[in-house]
Structure 1
């Protein structure tokens, strides 16, 4: 069913890299110093809209600084102070965020049939740390630093589709976030595969509610399941 596509465009954080675990490792213990009852999920939900807002309002800010400012804003929202050292710790933590266990093997398998492209809300230096964790060479990488804006801004998808058009590629968007990826990808006319990493958990976690009904063309609970379907 995927034979008509020759390139896959991936989101990275939430799809290939477990950003919720990475973010929660810093902001969860911080929050519980003030309220021991707060769960990682509760803190991630408080954080989600702040990161999206900071990225939207300061589109040329590098991602480590977006993370740090979003952490400070989360602290203001919850009523707890965020020391600069802890804000900067979150900002510099991206290379430490773990890859999902199935990401490398799935990407290696998919790379035998498709060109692998990344469009991600990140800076080049931070992404290189994640790429090393994934241990994959991508055919093309587009970061927020390259574009000067953050998804779900349509400009990011305009850059992606222009690249695909110039290279004559039939492109499929593969991502976890409905908010950051599938809503704007639909607007850009890109078919999508939803890697629903939170299929067994309620709510949106570190990803904002998409705010509208969006129906990706395909849905799988993991990269491993998608890769198996693509092989079939």
Structure 2
């Protein structure tokens, strides 16, 4: 039992905990996840003891190198950019410090009262999107691409992991990162 299993266990419990009836403060969700990792890996409270470091790591997350230039390019081309995140407002404020100041709106789980991929998250977004066509761009397949598919939204999957999408979600536009998104959007018009 090593780090790979710990990460997989943490991710599995995070997904499960995001299906609660109401949003758990994200820091509490992290702590609960760590307790489940301890349980699954029989490590006492070793992972729970690392809570301050794990929370600090979440707060210090920075985007991939291609993200800020691509977002700025999209913004400069006149696209409205709306960020949808399972994060809380407090964590998102920490993340936004590392991102280009290009978002017209930021929607978090605090706003929607639930986490993606729950339908209510996307209902909230639908009610708060500007009128007209929109395009959903996301890395999260289960959390974003699947709900966007069910809604009939045009979508781009940022497939950094080079996975094979199920045929049920085709046609699906895929890009390996955000660098080519602006050019792709222009060629689609």
TM-score by length of 2: 0.86
State the Cα deviation string for residues 133-182 of structure 1 (Å, max 9, x = none): 11323101110011110111111101111112xx3131111111111111
Task: Choose from 123, 140, 160 the match for 1:158.
Answer: 123
Shift of 1:229: 2.2
* Cα 1:82–1:98 shift into 2, 3 Å: farther
Tell whether the 8 Å contact from 2:61 to 2:95 is kept in structure 1 after alignment.
Answer: yes
Unmatched tracts of structure 2, length 5 or more: none
**Correspondence for 1:3:** none
**Correspondence for 2:37:** 74
* Cα 1:176–1:97 shift into 2, 3 Å: same
SS of 1:70's partner is helix
**Correspondence for 2:169:** 214
Q: Give the stretch that moved more between structures: 168-177 or 79-88.
A: 79-88
Unmatched tracts of structure 1, length 5 or more: 1-34, 204-209
Task: Choose from 107, 124, 129 the match for 1:142.
Answer: 107
Shift of 1:212: 9.2
**Correspondence for 1:8:** none
Q: What is the aligned residue count?
A: 185
State the Cα deviation string for residues 62-117 of structure 1 (Å, max 9, x = none): 11211221122122122223344412432343221121011100000011231000
1:127 and 2:82 are equivalent in the alignment: no
Tell whether the 8 Å contact from 2:30 to 2:51 is kept in structure 1 after alignment.
Answer: yes
Name which structure has the greater RCO, CA cutoff 8 Å, separation 6+: 1
Tell whether the 8 Å contact from 2:71 to 2:102 is kept in structure 1 after alignment.
Answer: no
**Correspondence for 2:54:** 90
**Correspondence for 2:20:** 57
**Correspondence for 1:47:** 10
Q: Distance in 2 between matches of 1:95 and 1:50?
A: 20
Q: CA RMSD in A?
A: 2.4
1:115 and 2:80 are equivalent in the alignment: yes
Task: Choose from 136, 148, 154 the match for 1:185.
Answer: 148
Q: Distance in 2 between matches of 1:46 and 1:212?
A: 28
1:229 and 2:187 are equivalent in the alignment: no
Q: Give the stretch that moved more between structures: 57-66 or 155-164.
A: 57-66
